[in-house]
Amino acid sequence: MDEIEIISPKDVIENIEKASLEDLIEYKSKLKKHISEIDKEITNRKNKKDEAEKIFKNIEKK
């Protein structure tokens, strides 16, 4: 699988170095929202995979 880099370490460091305290608080909040969305998608995909595996196992038993 190709590596996915949404935010590069260089970008993060540059943002931290240049930002004010208020900007850093806002930046952190935005990053948390992105992480939350990624977590939701991971959960969704795991649930779909589990459901597909259950269906496949039921088909194999018949």
Condensed to tens digits (0 to 9), the pLDDT of residues 7-41 reads 788 988 988 899 999 999 998 999 899 999 999 99
> 42 is in which domain, residue-wise?
20-61
- Classify residue 1: in a domain, yes or no: no
Average the pLDDT over each of 10-14, 31-35, 45-49, 56-60 and give the range with the smallest value: 56-60
- Classify residue 10: in a domain, yes or no: no
Both tokens assigned to 14: 């540059």
- Classify residue 6: in a domain, yes or no: no
Write the secondary structure of 11-35 as one string of H (helix), E (strand) and C (coil): HHHHHHHHCCHHHHHHHHHHHHHHH
- For position 1, what pLDDT does the model report? 58
The verdict on pTM exceeding 0.75 is no
- Classify residue 9: in a domain, yes or no: no
- Classify residue 36: in a domain, yes or no: yes
- Classify residue 2: in a domain, yes or no: no
Number of domains observed in the structure of the chain: 1
- Classify residue 15: in a domain, yes or no: no
Is 6 a residue whose pLDDT tops 90?
A: no
